[in-house]
Amino acid sequence: MARYGRGNELQSDEYGMKYMAAAGYDPQGVVRLQRKFVELSNSRQTNGLEALFASHPPSQSRVSANIEHSKSLPKGVTNRDAYQKAIAQLKRDADAYRNYDDAMKAASKKQYDSRLTLVRKAQK
């Protein structure tokens, strides 16, 4: 039912990895991400990834193909430290976002006292 097939996904992966390597990034990042997607799909811990998985189901064969492709590309940097620094505030604010989401759910159930408490927690 998907508009694009597995061959298109592999081609897209190859171009993405090639562009990553050309920009100086480690193309193994694609492999690590796809391994994580396979792990999440196997354990059903998909949360907001259901739509992505529906149109682009993760597979070990895709991971294996990308491992092979990555062998032909230069190694690069991951910049993990810079990334962690960039998202540090988001991590600190995670509880606030979660409380806000819970407050919106409470409001949809007309649980206004609970909503107000959760909004105040989010604001703190």
Domain tally, the chain: 2
- Residues 123, 68 within the same domain: no
Q: 78, 96, 113: which is the final residue of a domain?
A: 78
Write out pLDDT tens, residues 88-102.
999 999 999 888 999
- Residues 7, 56 within the same domain: yes
% of the chain at pLDDT higher than 90: 39
Rounded distance between C-alpha atoms, residue 18 and residue 120, angstroms: 47
The pLDDT score that the predictor gives to residue 23 is: 92
For 25-52, what is the mean pLDDT? 79
Rounded distance between C-alpha atoms, residue 78 and residue 24, angstroms: 9
Write out pLDDT tens, residues 46-81.
555 566 666 667 788 999 999 999 999 999 988 889
Residue 77 DSSP SS3? strand
Whether 29 has a pLDDT exceeding 80, the answer reads yes
Q: The domain containing residue 74 runs over which residues?
A: 1-78
- Residues 21, 74 within the same domain: yes
For 20-36, what is the mean pLDDT? 92
